[in-house]
Amino acid sequence: MSELRKLNSGRRKFLQDSAAVGGAAALAGLVPSVALAQGAGKIKIGLMLPYTGTFGQIGVGITNAFKLAIQENGGKLGGRDVEYVTVDDESDPAKAADNANRLVNRDKVDVLMGTVHSGVQMGMVKIARESGVLAIIPNAGVGAATAQLCAPNIFRTSFANAQPAYPMGKIAVDKGIKNVVTLAWRYGAGEESVAGFKDNFVKNGGKIVKELWLPFPNVEFQALLTEIASLKPDGVFVFFAGGGAAKFLRDWQAAGLKGKITLMGAGFLTDGVLEAVGGAAEGIETTLHYGDGIETPKNKAFRLAYAKSFKLQPDVYAMQGYDAGLLLIAGLKAVKGDITKKKEIIAAMEKVEIDSPRGKWRMSAGHNPIQDIYLRKVVGLENKVIGVAQRALDYPPASLCKMPR
Amino acid sequence: MDFETFLIQLLNGVQYGLLLFLVASGLTLVFGIMGVINIAHGSFYMIGAYLAWSLTESFGNLWAAIAVGVMLSVLLGMVLEWLLIKKLYARDHLYQVLLTYGLILVFEEMRSVIWGDDVHGVDVPRILGASIPLTETLSYPVVRLWISAVCLVLAVAMYVLIRRTRIGMMIRAGASNREMVQSLGINIQLVYRIVFALGIALAAFAGMISAPVSSVFPGMGNQVLIICFVVVVIGGIGSVKGAMVAAILIGLVDTFGKVLHVEIAGVKLLPELAGMTVYLLMAAVLVWRPEGIFGKRL
């Protein structure tokens, strides 16, 4: 009997001891994170970008350039070391909220950086607004993120979809183009881009004869090219990107429309596709916040450093990732690395003038870049900058963003 | 729409339909004769296009690239059938879908590793480079007419093969009753291997000849796959004649759906719902004849 009692007390004692050890370990686990929050450990950056699929190259480019910017700053943000947590969002809007949630709540990142696809971005914006985590958008151009759904902790270093298209409206009028047919994929980026062009074009006296839409990502253009030919407008404004843009440019030339009707578009029509279209894009003018041949010391230095590190030429997406790094550096410099001082970081990022490879720019009231939009012309395999379409463009209008100031 | 534009749109629709037929014919052959659902069919279209691009870079001209590419595709088809597909004949359709879906993922990654993720173009061969002026603004590229001609020639060739040759007879018999054909001393295993290789070679060939007009980019196979299944379902599983009729029908519906203006009771139907027209057509056909236009009665 007494042996049994001894056994029981032995087991109970063992269980009690284990619980005590477990409790102590849990408490011990909490202590380091408290210490981190006060600024002793590394700053955790959560990278949520596509690393596979159609946009995989873009995700890799943005990450490379972002890390390059941090490296040029001595590998530190505000004097503190940096660690990265990476998630491949696969450009899948269905998984967006879960992915962002995991980074913010499980991995406890200090900054959320991403993404490319506008559908995924909306999932991230939702989590960023709910959690208040500092979020930087290095590409997705969905207008709402810095307008209707703006928030103090959300910043963008790329563009809003309507922004690069807007100046083309006035350029069209200046060229003597009076009536235009628009053609784009019917999704966020296509609709916002056309809206930006239309706003400025109509404001300056132009007339939109017809708005043609194609379901995304349909690339059967023949029927619509035939219709454009029968309408005979002075100019056509389109939004396509990637493989679809390459096909469109070839179809446009094969249909004999090149040279007869002026083709216009935002820069994405001719970015990254010139090798694939074999001269079909020669001479086409587009507007974008970057281009080939920007001969500033900052751009030359950036392109050289990027090419040296990654054996590739940087594109507009990499440049946007680089600026995300510059923005974060400025924000954390102002608080000497204390990531808990969010209000001060935000204030610093709102005021800073980013010395970017694209030129100098500042944040708008909605936290979107106020930047120069360049006019580029396709010459050979380059989108050569031939002028500035509009300086310091702040578009879409700030009135749509209702942030507490 | 004036009569001239109407005729041109008709031409656009027929041309698109003929290309769809070429890609879908392989799918309906494999499905109808072997009873195997090959979800990776679109991937072979993509493989064909990428082969056309990389082989044209190596050989310098598209014709050599197509010749070599077709041979490689037939080889690939035979190897795949021998390694994987022949295990699927006795299995449920679900297993076939699972295996061939796995093939899609494997092909996508291999494509990314071998050829990368960039967009590429294949130059139109010079003799096909002209455009025929149709109106004062619009020209029709000769290469598209050539593609349509090739599709028609292949359609006739397939008809002759299946209806008028011994091997065609074996194929049709094997589709009706596999065991009986085997007991008659015919090597049905070899017949199936040939049919599968033919099916995917057709898809790859379609990818190769349309590469000059469609550009070569990741994801091109998935876009084509869905519309292929619509063609096969509307035309009737296993019917090449059905695939032709369905493909032309879909080509016309898709083309005119994008440019016509149809409004019923104040509700704008076309071209707002252009993306849905093909699927609405499929739903209508399924309600009227579930086996498809020329399919065997269920």
Each residue of A347-394: pLDDT tens digit?
999 999 999 999 999 999 999 999 999 999 999 999 999 999 999 999
Name the minimum distance, in Å, from the CA of B12 to any CA of chain A: 6
Residue type (1 letter), A264: M
Chain B residues near residue A269 by CB distance under 8 angstroms = none
pLDDT confidence tier of residue A38, bands split at 50, 70 and 90: very low
Indicate the domain borders of chain A.
43-159+294-367, 162-288
For B88, half-sphere exposure in the C-beta direction (CA atoms, 13 angstrom radius) is: 24
Report CB contact under 8 Å: A256, B131: yes
The partner residue sitting opposite B255, judged by closest CB among A223, A250, A261, is A223
Chain mean pLDDT for chain A: 89
Q: How many CB pairs under 8 A join A and B?
A: 126
- Residues of A in CB contact (< 8 Å) with B are 52-54, 56-57, 186, 212-215, 217-220, 222-227, 229-230, 232, 242-243, 246-247, 250-251, 254-257, 260-261, 272-273, 275-278
Q: Is the pLDDT reported for residue A9 higher than 70?
A: no
Look at residue A379 and give its three-state secondary structure. Answer: strand
Q: Is the pLDDT reported for residue A30 higher than 50?
A: no
Look at residue A110 and give its three-state secondary structure. Answer: coil
Q: Which residue, among B6, B119, B128, would best test binding to A if mutated, counting the most A CBs under 10 Å from its CB? A: B119
According to the model, what pLDDT value does residue A32 have?
Answer: 44
Which residue has 């590739």 as its token pair?
A312
Q: State CA B38 to chain mean position distance.
A: 12
Say if CB B225 and CB B39 are below 8 A apart.
yes
Report CB contact under 8 Å: B259, A254: no
Q: Is the pLDDT reported for residue A27 higher than 70?
A: no
Chain A residues near residue B144 by CB distance under 8 angstroms = 222, 254
Report CB contact under 8 Å: A224, B258: yes
Distance CA A319, CA A321 (A): 5
Closest chain A residue to B215, measured at CA: A247
The H-or-E segment that residue A354 falls in is strand A354-356
**pLDDT above 90 coverage of chain A, percent:** 73
DSSP 8-state symbol, B216: B
According to the model, what pLDDT value does residue A31 have?
Answer: 44
pLDDT confidence tier of residue A36, bands split at 50, 70 and 90: very low
Report CB contact under 8 Å: A255, B119: no
Q: Is the pLDDT reported for residue A259 higher than 80?
A: yes
Distance CA A140, CA A113 (A): 11
Chain A residues near residue B131 by CB distance under 8 angstroms = 254-256
Closest chain A residue to B273, measured at CA: A215
According to the model, what pLDDT value does residue B213 have?
Answer: 82
Q: Is the pLDDT reported for residue A40 higher than 80?
A: no
Rg over CA atoms, chain A: 25
Chain mean pLDDT for chain B: 88
According to the model, what pLDDT value does residue A376 have?
Answer: 96
Query: Which residues neighbour A145 within 8 Å (Cβ) at sequence distance 6 or greater?
Result: A121, A122, A125, A137, A154, A156
Name the minimum distance, in Å, from the CA of B170 to any CA of chain A: 38
Distance CA B65, CA B211 (A): 12
Lowest mean pLDDT among A34-48, A329-343, A384-398: A34-48
Look at residue B137 and give its three-state secondary structure. Answer: coil
According to the model, what pLDDT value does residue A316 have?
Answer: 94
According to the model, what pLDDT value does residue A11 have?
Answer: 63
Beta bridge pairs of residue A81: A76
Q: Is the pLDDT reported for residue A33 higher than 50?
A: no
Burial (CB < 10 A; 0-12, 13-18, 19+), residue A7, is exposed
Say if CB A376 and CB A271 are below 8 A apart.
no
Distance CA A109, CA A122 (A): 19
Report CB contact under 8 Å: A226, B259: yes
According to the model, what pLDDT value does residue B241 have?
Answer: 87
Domains annotated on chain B, with CATH? 3-288 (1.10.3470)
Q: Is the pLDDT reported for residue A6 higher than 60?
A: no
For the record, the structure tokens of B124 come out as 């139109």
Report CB contact under 8 Å: B215, A215: no
Look at residue B33 and give its three-state secondary structure. Answer: helix
Look at residue A363 and give its three-state secondary structure. Answer: strand
Mean pLDDT of A103-121: 93
Residues with pLDDT less than 50, chain B? none
The packing angle between helices B188-214 and B166-176, to 10°, is 110
Chain A residues near residue B9 by CB distance under 8 angstroms = 223, 226
Chain B residues near residue A242 by CB distance under 8 angstroms = 119, 217
The predicted-structure confidence for B32-84, as pLDDT tens digits, reads as follows 888 888 999 999 999 999 999 999 988 888 899 999 999 999 999 999 999 98
Question: Per CATH, is A43-159+294-367 categorized as 3.40.50.800?
Answer: no
pLDDT confidence tier of residue A1, bands split at 50, 70 and 90: very low
State the first-to-last Cα distance of chain A, in angstroms, to the nearest integer: 75
The partner residue sitting opposite B121, judged by closest CB among A232, A255, A278, is A278
The predicted-structure confidence for A164-201, as pLDDT tens digits, reads as follows 999 999 999 999 999 999 999 988 899 999 999 999 99
Chain B residues near residue A226 by CB distance under 8 angstroms = 5, 8-9, 12, 138, 259
According to the model, what pLDDT value does residue A156 have?
Answer: 96
The superfamily in CATH containing domain A162-288 is Response regulator (3.40.50.2300)
According to the model, what pLDDT value does residue A215 have?
Answer: 84
Burial (CB < 10 A; 0-12, 13-18, 19+), residue A260, is middle
For the record, the structure tokens of A128 come out as 């960023």
Q: Is the peptide bond before A167 cis (omega within 30 degrees of 0)?
A: no
Chain A residues near residue B213 by CB distance under 8 angstroms = 247, 250-251, 254
Report CB contact under 8 Å: A278, B133: no
Report CB contact under 8 Å: A223, B131: no
Report CB contact under 8 Å: B123, A217: no
Alpha-carbon distances, residue A227 vs A183, A221, A327, B2, B268 (angstroms): 11, 10, 46, 11, 19
According to the model, what pLDDT value does residue B275 have?
Answer: 80
Closest chain B residue to A57, measured at CA: B117
The predicted-structure confidence for A289-307, as pLDDT tens digits, reads as follows 999 999 999 999 999 999 9
Report CB contact under 8 Å: A243, B218: yes
pTM of the prediction? 0.83
Report CB contact under 8 Å: B2, A223: no
Say if CB A181 and CB A209 are below 8 A apart.
yes
Bridge-based pairing of strands A262-266 and A235-239 is: parallel
Chain A residues near residue B5 by CB distance under 8 angstroms = 226-227, 230
Report CB contact under 8 Å: B141, A213: no
Query: Which residues neighbour A135 within 8 Å (Cβ) at sequence distance 6 or greater?
Result: A111, A112, A113, A124, A125, A128, A153, A154, A155
